[in-house]
Amino acid sequence: MSELVVGNDDPSKRTPLVLGGHDFKSVSDIICRPVEAKAPQWWMIAFGVSVSGLCLLIAMLSKLVWSGIGVWGLNNPVMWGWDLVGFVFWVGIGHAGTLISAILFLFRQKWRTSINRFAEAMTIFAVMSAGIYIVFHVGRVWVAYYLFPIPNSMGIWPNFRSPLVWDVFAVSTYFTISLLFWFVGLIPDLATIRDRATTKTRKIWYGIFSVGWRGANRHWMNYERAYLILAALSTPLVLSVHSIVSFDFAVSQVPGWHTTIFPPYFVAGAIFSGFAMVVTLMVAARELFNMKDFMTMHHLETMNKIILATGTMVGYAYGMEFFMAWFSGNTFEQYAFINRAFGPYYWAYWTMVSCNVISPQLFWFKKIRRSIPMMFIISIFVNIGMWFERFVITVTSLHRDFLPSSWFYYSPTWVEVCQFIGSFGLFLTFFLLFLKFLPIIAISEVKGVMPAANPHQPGEEH
Amino acid sequence: MTTVKLYGLLAEYKDPSALIHAVEKLRDAGYKNFETYSPFPIHGMDSAMGIKDSVLGWIVVACGATGLASAIALQTWVSVSAYRVVTSGKLLFSFQAFVPVCFELMVLFAGFGAVFGMFALNGLPKLYHPLFKNHRFRTATSHGFFVTVESSDSRFSLEGTARFLQEIGGLSVEVVEE
């Protein structure tokens, strides 16, 4: 392989996506190694911590079911607090995976191949964490099936004119399609592990889940078509999901929520937070699994550019919200925004602005874009900032509502805080299982973007 | 002695380029029931093999249309007939409000069509295949490039086809039994 040319955008000699002079066999060897080797010590420790977090979540949910929703600090008029904040936070993180796997696929951004598997897994587990909030915030979780149009003895049906019902359909469709997309992408790689398997257990389990894949070209043809169609379906889907999440707010009459900027603003924020989470996890994983030849600095830098772009969009939306409040001449809308920045929750607002608007601007500097410690710190800041964004939107708009006598300063109870910590336990438990038992890079796709995969070698006619 | 049925011949090739050239020669020699195996899809292989384009798109269109129709039917029936409740002064049949669910169900059904349609067209899941018995074939999902010619092909002959596969660049030619 020729020398690495950094940052060269001439399409005839692009930055190579796989470094280290690998051939097809060594690609399989390296990516399959974590699956085939014994779990490393750091993995066991991390898994132990994550499972403890998961247990904490289960304990908090049990308390919630046992005592009722009053264990949360919610009260009139703040009917939504950390539950909705946690839900939107996790669903937002879930958007990066589908963006990378679907939208970048349609745009033929080949650099996505070594990070899409990783990001899709993150999507699925983040949506699971979000789903926990949806299911349990209804309070009487044993009748959560009322969310779906299922015939029941009381003859009650969902109200299809409500955005909350749209949300149920959007999130469950998103989860299902993301899972299918992920599984379809995994099939050839599961077959690779099956064919390399040395133990009986591995042969049987990977054999079942690879559904008899054998790499036949007639199969590849239908497979590639299915993948393309799923990408084409997921692209509008990913945009619709966070738009519909924003309708939960925008369709209501609450000042600060009832704005048309919400759908694009939420989508940009979702992509922003999702990419930040991918960078956080990738910086760690490429180091721990020694996969720097596949998850190269070029990949990280490209992701940081997307964080910069979407962070700037989010900053624009924050400014535009204030402009529209002023321009509308509506005093209630104006009060909602002045109260947001200078009211009792000013600390949350300015944390959000510092983390989301100011910190990603550092990515204008190439040195910072390519510095592992800096990008790790900034991605953590963005994760924090995006949590605060949802907190600001949800709580500051509600806590001073139409009736000043009911104004209220909302603080979470320990149950809400522990439940949120526990949702990380759920996310990380599944993510660590993924790191150990599945190929974390799409093996067949990475091989496809290597120069050796092109049957039309230079000098040959096409 | 038990008679073993013949599945066909399996030949390995050096790289994607060798595979695609071999396949062009097989096609030109008039073979029909042959297949190539590679760890990743090879650009240009479909036309080299002379196979028709995938029909998956039509399956997806049909599934998507079914999803859309079911969403319209479900929401209209629930809102106008099964559970008539006026909320926020909206009409019982408020088609504007039905758009999000229509879109989501259309995508959901189309996605099922794409994945399970692909499975059906490929005859998957299939947990047994004669090729899985072949030891060398295990590299087909890692770094091996293979061609099989099935014994059902009208031009198939054990010696003649084996010789031909070798002539067009086959590194090894093996017999695969059912």
- Across the range A283-304, mean pLDDT stands at 85
Of A156, A196, A222, the CB nearest to B54: A222
Of B51, B85, B110, the CB nearest to A159: B85
pLDDT for residue A402 = 86
Q: Find all residues with CB under 8 Å of A433, minimum gap 6, and list them.
A: A47
pLDDT for residue A20 = 67
Of A28, A191, A456, the CB nearest to B143: A28
B82: DSSP letter: I
Helix (H) / strand (E) element for B154: namely: none
Taking contacts as CB-CB distances below 8 angstroms, the residues of chain B near A218 are: 35, 51, 122
CB B18 within 8 Å of CB B42: no
**At A74, which amino acid appears?**
L
Taking contacts as CB-CB distances below 8 angstroms, the residues of chain B near A444 are: 39-41
pLDDT one-digit tens code per residue, B28-80? 888 888 888 988 888 888 888 878 888 888 999 999 999 999 999 999 999 99
Taking contacts as CB-CB distances below 8 angstroms, the residues of chain B near A456 are: 17, 43-44
CB contact under 8 A, A161 and B87: yes
Domain ranges of chain B: 6-51+130-177, 56-122
Q: Is the pLDDT of residue A457 over 60?
A: no
How sure is the predictor about A1, in pLDDT bands with cuts at 50, 70 and 90?
very low
- Across the range A39-58, mean pLDDT stands at 93
CB B82 within 8 Å of CB B40: no
Taking contacts as CB-CB distances below 8 angstroms, the residues of chain A near B138 are: 195-196
- C-alpha A82/C-alpha A78 separation (Å) is 10
pLDDT one-digit tens code per residue, A220-251? 899 999 999 999 998 899 889 989 999 989 98
How sure is the predictor about A79, in pLDDT bands with cuts at 50, 70 and 90?
confident
- C-alpha A72/C-alpha A137 separation (Å) is 10
The encoded tokens of residue A232 equal 């084409």
CB contact under 8 A, B87 and A192: no
pLDDT one-digit tens code per residue, B11-24? 888 888 888 888 88
Taking contacts as CB-CB distances below 8 angstroms, the residues of chain B near A244 are: 100
Give B87→chain A minimum CA distance, Å.
Answer: 8
Chain B residue with Cα closest to A226: B114
Looking at every residue in chain A, the average pLDDT score rounds to: 87
Give A448→chain B minimum CA distance, Å.
Answer: 6
CB contact under 8 A, A180 and B112: yes
pLDDT one-digit tens code per residue, B126-149? 888 888 888 888 888 888 888 888
Give the SS3 label for residue B34.
strand
Of A215, A237, A455, the CB nearest to B37: A215
- Across the range B152-173, mean pLDDT stands at 81
- Across the range A315-322, mean pLDDT stands at 92
Of A160, A176, A223, the CB nearest to B98: A160
pLDDT for residue A9 = 47
Torsion of CA B131, B137, B140, B144, to 10 degrees: -150
CB contact under 8 A, A217 and B35: yes
Give B57→chain A minimum CA distance, Å.
Answer: 8
Best of B34, B49, B78, B107 to mutate (most A CBs within 10 Å, chain A): B107
Give B153→chain A minimum CA distance, Å.
Answer: 17
- Across the range A159-172, mean pLDDT stands at 90
**Residue in this structure with the two tokens 């289960």, named with its chain if needed:** A58
Task: Please provide the CATH number assigned to the domain covering B6-51+130-177.
Answer: 3.30.70
- C-alpha A176/C-alpha B147 separation (Å) is 36
> In chain B, what's the furthest Cα-to-Cα distance?
83
CB A397 within 8 Å of CB A336: yes
**At A279, which amino acid appears?**
V
CB contact under 8 A, A455 and B142: no
Best of A229, A239, A240, A245 to mutate (most B CBs within 10 Å, chain B): A229
Give B152→chain A minimum CA distance, Å.
Answer: 17
Q: Is the pLDDT of residue A13 over 70?
A: no
pLDDT for residue A5 = 43
Candidates A79, A81, A122, A82; CA nearest to A99 is: A122
pLDDT for residue A3 = 40
How sure is the predictor about A40, in pLDDT bands with cuts at 50, 70 and 90?
confident
pLDDT for residue A385 = 93
pLDDT for residue B137 = 84
- Across the range A325-340, mean pLDDT stands at 91
CB contact under 8 A, A169 and B112: no
Candidates A355, A364, A266; CA nearest to A313 is: A266
CB contact under 8 A, B124 and A223: no
How sure is the predictor about A276, in pLDDT bands with cuts at 50, 70 and 90?
very high
- Across the range B5-13, mean pLDDT stands at 85
ipTM of the complex: 0.90
Give B51→chain A minimum CA distance, Å.
Answer: 8
CB contact under 8 A, A445 and B40: yes
pLDDT one-digit tens code per residue, B73-108? 999 999 998 888 888 788 888 888 899 999 999 999
- Across the range A262-272, mean pLDDT stands at 90
Give B110 or A109, the one with higher predicted confidence. B110
Looking at every residue in chain B, the average pLDDT score rounds to: 86
Which domains, from first to last, does chain A contain?
11-453 (1.20.1630.10)
CB A148 within 8 Å of CB A168: yes
> Touching check for B59 and chain A: CB below 8 Å?
no
Taking contacts as CB-CB distances below 8 angstroms, the residues of chain A near B98 are: 160
Interface of B with A in 63-122 (CB under 8 A): 74-75, 78-79, 82-83, 85, 87-88, 90, 94, 97-98, 100-101, 103-105, 107-108, 110-112, 114-115, 117-119, 121-122
Q: Is the pLDDT of residue A55 over 90?
A: yes
Name all contacts of A301-306 with Cβ < 8 Å and 24+ positions apart. A301/A7, A301/A366, A301/A369, A301/A370, A302/A111, A303/A115, A303/A275, A303/A278, A303/A279, A304/A279, A304/A363, A304/A369, A304/A375, A304/A378, A305/A363, A305/A369, A306/A271, A306/A275
Give B134→chain A minimum CA distance, Å.
Answer: 11
pLDDT one-digit tens code per residue, A108-120? 777 788 788 888 8
- Across the range A70-94, mean pLDDT stands at 88
